[in-house]
Amino acid sequence: MEIDIRIPETGDRTTDEVHSAVAWTAVLAGATVAVAASFVLLTLAAGFGFTLESPWPGSRPALTGFSPALGAGMVTVQVLSCALGGYLAGRLRTKWLNVHSHEVFFRDTAHGLLVWAVSTLLGFALGIVTVLGQPAGLAAASAQNPNVAAQFSFFLALGLILSAFTACVAAAIGGMRRDDMHAKRLTP
């Protein structure tokens, strides 16, 4: 089911928006897919041996097992999952009528950034819940080897920046694709 939002025109040719420019259902759907894709890709990476877990039963995760290869895998997971979520948000948003194409591009990009922000907050909250019982072990590991903690922080920041950019671009591409499909449906 498709809903088109028509913006009424006033006498001086300015438009008054009657609805928010943010399609929160599309943003939440994209963020949910991004978090789910992260878990799937992290599970796949763990299957390939990229993990902070020790192979011994009952042991806790430690940053001492962190390597640049694991960092690159972490960045890849962030970028791919946010690209999928951003694209989905761009495709699921409603079509804006009587809005300049530059504004449409900006709004699509903003939807991608919102997908990234919501999925990052959800992932952070889930990570805190997971690590809540083990903060002493992680703090001790980072105190023993601050270089590893710095590498981990670098790769985390790099992944966040790249995934934010990727989500914005993917949402813009998804929005353009959605508008192209909508235009083809309306033309005979």
Write the pLDDT tens digit of every residue in 121-156: 988 888 777 666 555 555 665 666 667 777 878 888
pLDDT score of 137:
54
Is 12 among the domain residues?
no
Q: What is the rounded average pLDDT of the residues 148-165?
A: 86
Helices first, then strands: H and E counts in the chain = 5, 2
* Tokens coding 178: 């959605």
Q: Which domain holds residue 79?
A: 22-186
Number of domains in the chain: 1
* Locus of tokens 């039963």: 57
Please, which residues have CB within 8 angstroms of residue 165's CB and are 6 or more apart in sequence? Answer: none
Model-level pTM greater than 0.85? no
Assign 114 a pLDDT band (cuts: 50, 70, 90): very high
Say if 108 falls within a structural domain: yes
- Taking residues 47-62, report their average pLDDT: 62
At 58 the pLDDT is: 57
- Mean pLDDT for the stretch of residues 32-46: 90
pLDDT tops 80 at residue 159: yes
- The answer to the question of residue 135 being in a domain is yes
pLDDT tier at 79 (50, 70, 90 boundaries)?
Answer: very high
What pLDDT shows up at residue 31?
94
In a domain, 48, yes or no: yes
In a domain, 92, yes or no: yes
pLDDT on residue 13 = 46
Whether 167 maps to a domain, the answer reads yes
What span, in angstroms and rounded, lies between the C-alpha atoms of 112 and 70? 26
Q: Is residue 171 part of a domain?
A: yes
Q: Is 6 a member of any domain? A: no
Which residues, including other chains, have CB under 8 Å from residue 118's CB and lie 6 or more apart?
A: 27, 28, 31
Of the pLDDT bands very low, low, confident and very high (cuts 50, 70, 90), residue 1 is very low
Over 60: is that where the pLDDT of 33 sits?
yes
